[in-house]
Amino acid sequence: MKDILKLSAYEMSQKLIAGELTSVELTQACLDRIAEVDGKVQAFLLVDEQGAMHTARLVDEKRARGEELPAFAGVPVAIKDNICVNGMKTTCASKMLENWVSPYDATVISKIKKEMMPIIGKTNMDEFAMGSSTEHSAFQRTCNPWDLDRIPGGSGGGSAAAVAAYMVPLALGSDTGGSIRQPGAVTGTVGAKPTYGRISRYGLVAMASSLDQIGPVARTVQDAAMLQSIIGGYDEYDSTSLQEDAYDVVRALEENTDLSKMRIGIVKELSGEGYDKGVRDTFDNILDILKERGANIIEVSCPSFEYALSAYYLIMPAEVSSNLARFDGVHYGARILPKEGPVTAETMMATTRGEAFGDEVKRRIILGTYALSSGHVDDYYMSAQRVRTLIQRDFEAAYKEVDVLLSPTSPVVAFKFGDKMNDPLAMYLNDIATIPANLAGIPGISIPAGLSQGLPVGLQVLAPAHKDARMYAVANEIEKILNPIWGGNILEQAPVLEGE
Amino acid sequence: MSKLVSYEKAAAEFDPVLGIEVHVELGTKTKMFDHAPNVFGEEPNTMVTPVSLGLPGTLPVVNKKAVEYAIKIGLALNCSIASSCRFARKNYFYPDIPKNFQTSQFDEPIAYDGYLDVELEDGAVFRVDIERAHMEEDAGKNTHVGGAAGRIQGAEYSLVDYNRAGVPLVEIVTRPITGCGDRAPEVAAAYVQTLRDIFRALEVSEARMERGNVRADINVSLRKTPEDKFGTRTETKNVNSFRAIDKAVRYEMRRQATVLLEGETVIQETRHWHEDTSSTSSGREKSDAEDYRYFPEPDLVPVCPSKEWIEQIRSSMPEMPAVRRKRLIAQWGISDVEMRDVINAGALDLIEATIKAGTSPQSARKWWMGEISRIARVQEISLEEVKVTPEQICELQSLIDEKKINDKIARSVLDSVIQGEGQPAQIVKDKGLEIVSDDGALEKAVDEALNSNPDVVESLKAGKMQAIGALMGPIMKATKGQADASRVREIIMEKINL
């Protein structure tokens, strides 16, 4: 592997600006690395060598002419395959969209293109972002670079594995219940879910609209903040988007944050029961280190979190059932005709949906359809919305006492393939620590917290809504404390993929 | 079913209850939730964006102008305007809805609790209570090819055009309309017509029924007496003209009365209206259990019109048609019936503009309801499409009033104006059409006419004044139609010493 791939995206950009590196060299290095290891990792569904190299050359030419370029121009990025890129397949890892080419760019992609970042390709995911292991992809299973027999987390396992295996410095993910943070935790990468509305969802194939949020996947907190500032900001095409400063998260890292002046909260409900001992120990170890550095650690209780998973598994499928209704074989994507009986619009739709959706997707559509059906909507969907309000209030109350909240990101380290495939409820439990942030719309980030059984454990930092800058600042300070302890980025300790 | 009972019998035996849902397509520049142009009649699937096609990843954004129009409609219908309201998703699978849900307002309409006073033919006023007016998006349009009469049954394939998908709609829902008795058909038609006039006055829609800009679904049920609870209703969909609304209510009352009189029960269902036979037929059965799985649209934030904005809209509201009509009836000195004719002819604005340009109400009305209406009928176009302006009509009338031309010449000048030959006064001048009032020339023509028609002269002398008409033809011919008819008359009278 070329050493330049071990640089952070920020360091890459500095070298590009200084003329010590060209984007063509860097992009080619990523492509070479993909050629070298993706046969094993299988993080990519599509690699756009031509497109990426075209952008890289353009950047180098402009730079050679002395033109002013955006900060991250020339730094490659990978895109989760549920984000639309004009002219590129966007499959959502589903047979339903196997050959669907988007005719438009998502807003985040327009911004990536404006930044002139080469788009390396599309990364694998659980079908329509439903799952916690990337085993639900209709096309391939992505492996965890730390142990190829283990899951890379989900649904954004492809983006996390691509970044963890040094195939690309940055990637975009989407987080509905933890799909950026949980893969981040189990692959040793940094993944952030911003405040709901900070990043436009226009062009993100919706799973559950009120919960989905696009976010950065990176190897450092700074890189994640930089990427968020690039893709964030108000968008007139998304009426839920916020009119907030997108760049404040980067400025926040430049200011010194004194952790000893921060009140750091530990959510009682997010670190005890159901969490692996190894995960708990790693988390406790971090707390000890922080205490040593003078951090003021306060335990808070969020009693409604007990119902978060239940509420999530009513609201999310309800929205899924409606959002995925458009995949019907009528105007794009797969169309499968019934093999028997009359061919009508109804039978065509039913056959298409029956055959082109995977089991997990169908499971959630059915759950959601039931939760919204008349006679049940009040008992299920509306009750879940009330729980959601209670969870928001729990957070608000907690943030009166503390500035940020810490918890493990995932209750377990990366498990082996197939371990939870036949037990949907066990699979759902993986997101127990990440889901409350989605229900409340608050920002959350996962950073590496150490190792358990030789596998990465994630630390989650949660901040109040709109306080993404504070979240990044705290995560950045913790990263600064931990890196020297590990002797650098924790990914350096991952078993090397090359030469095997 | 046996032969339908007469309307008179149906109305005598039962008390009808109506419920009317009117959809109006708003005339905004763009669609309800995206930037696609809101235009009619273009090539299929050209007036679309990824959003109107419901492509994966797309999101709706509310069109502010559509909200403004909806508020205008709400205010015109004496409704309360919600300070906060939401959109909901109405989920159902059908090829003409791109997302397989329609974004609509369900339990939180923008306008609610209003009423509309409807004036009937004889001047009686009937108040219709409005339950709500809410915003939603239109669906696309399916065309079934290969089957009989464009129906899906037996069609080889179907084409879907999404140009109309996402066009902003306001749906106005009445409360049950009771107490109209045998005037139910008239009330229904007059209600929709009153709404149509309001939409036009507000300039929120072209409100052209024939284009489907305004569509009415008519619910009808019958009960034995006004004290009974409501009977089972049917909903006749998409009735597209005022006459058809009247007829559809009439037909459903007769049909349901026949069913009930035979001791059968009315089935709750939607019914299709057939223009050709003036009858309805069974559509799909519709039960209240139809499950649209409504829930608040998570991709849209609530719509919260500020008090200031609502007041600003209220203060900019135009005069409502009923008020304007009353004012004009008084100003023009015409009857209710004459006013109705003017409205039906689509001449109200044109006449008013002509009067504003300086013509008397009587003359303005005569032109538009007479000659120009005739031309429009012959050419099968609307009055507005006749290529003559109120100002030109005013000029033409002035020429008559100044006795420079007579009515007949005026009509030919109008033709020239319509042909694009120029302004009336100029045309008269260029073609030398001014009235001949030079007595010398007229006397000569009269003399010639009298000499060659001795029998007419005899009749006149005998007191048969109508015979004078027989002389006018030759005289006009001799003066190329430019003779001042009243002066000619005077000269004839003088000549035969009457």
For B376-391, the pLDDT digits (tens) are 999 988 898 899 999 9
Distance CA A113, CA B320 (A): 52
The yes-or-no answer on residue A179 being catalytic is yes
Asked if A80 contacts A123 with a C-beta cutoff of 8 angstroms, the reply is yes
Q: Could you give the C-alpha distances from A225 to A9, A24, A195, A242, in angstroms and in order?
A: 11, 24, 13, 17
Backbone φ and ψ of A210, nearest 5°: -80, -5
- Is the pLDDT at B154 greater than 90? The verdict is no
- What region, left, alpha or beta, does residue B113 occupy, with left being phi > 0 and alpha being psi -120 to 50 degrees? left
- Which tokens is B93 given? 């699978």
Closest alpha carbon within chain A to B61: A239
The SS3 assignment for B132 reads strand
pLDDT, position B437: 64
Total residue count of chain A as it appears in this document? 500
Q: For residue B366, how far is the Cα from the chain centroid?
A: 21
In the beta sheet, which residues pair with residue B144?
Answer: B158
Q: Express each pLDDT in B213-225 by its tens digit.
A: 999 999 999 999 9
Q: What's the rounded mean pLDDT across residues B255-284?
A: 92
Q: What is the pLDDT of residue B498?
A: 56
User: Which residues on A lie below 8 Å from B99 (Cβ)?
Assistant: 325-326
Mutation for A interface: B293, B297, B303, most A CBs within 10 A: B293
The nearest CA of chain B is from the CA of A369 a distance in Å of: 8
Block residue for tokens 């760049």: A247
- Amino acid type, A35: A
Helix (H) or strand (E) holding B234: strand B234-239
- Which residue of chain B comes nearest to A380, CA vs CA? B295
In which element (H, E) is residue A11 found? Answer: helix A9-18
Q: How many interchain CB pairs under 8 A, A with B?
A: 103
Please give the sequence-ordered ranges of beta strands (E in DSSP) within A1-57, or none if there are none: 44-47
Query: Residue A498 has what pLDDT?
Result: 67
Structure tokens at B105: 């307002």
- CB contacts of A104 in chain B (<8 Å) are 50, 55
Return the structure tokens found at A294. Answer: 């003078």
Could you report the per-residue pLDDT of B420-462, keeping only the tens digit for each? 999 999 998 888 787 766 677 788 888 888 888 888 888 888 8
Strands (E), A223-304: 263-267, 296-300
Q: Which of B50, B99, B291 sits opposite A374 (nearest CB)?
A: B291
pLDDT digits (tens, 9 = 90+) for B66-86: 999 999 999 999 999 999 999
**What totals of helices (H) and strands (E) does chain B contain, helices first?**
17, 14
Question: Active-site residue A239, yes or no?
Answer: no
Chain B residues inside the 8 Å CB shell of A206: 56-57, 59, 299
Is A80 an annotated catalytic residue? yes
Mean per-residue pLDDT of chain B: 91
- Residue ranges of chain A with per-residue pLDDT less than 70: 498-500
Q: Could you give the CA distance from residue B55 to residue B99 in angstroms, rounded to a whole number? A: 8
The HSE-up count of residue B337 (CA atoms within 13 Å, CB side) is: 1
Interface of B with A (CB under 8 A): 50, 53-62, 89, 91, 93-95, 98-101, 158, 160, 289, 291, 293-295, 298-301
Number of Cβ within a 10 Å radius of residue A138: 19
What residue of B is the nearest CA neighbor of A92? B56
Percent of chain B with pLDDT over 90: 69
Residue A486 exposed, middle or buried by CB count within 10 Å (0-12, 13-18, 19+) = middle
Interface test with A, best of B63, B100, B292 (most A CBs within 10 A): B100
Considering only CB atoms, A373 lies closest to which of B55, B291, B301, namely B291
- Mutation site, B32, B59, B106, interface A, largest A CB count within 10 A: B59
Q: Are B478 and B429 in contact (CB under 8 A)?
A: no
What's the token pair of residue B30?
A: 């763009």
Residue B284 pLDDT greater than 80, yes or no: no
> Does residue B206 have a pLDDT over 70?
yes
Encoded tokens for A133: 């292991």
B2 pLDDT band (50/70/90 cuts)?
A: low
Which is catalytic among the residues A13, A23, A110, A179?
A179
ipTM, two decimals, is 0.95
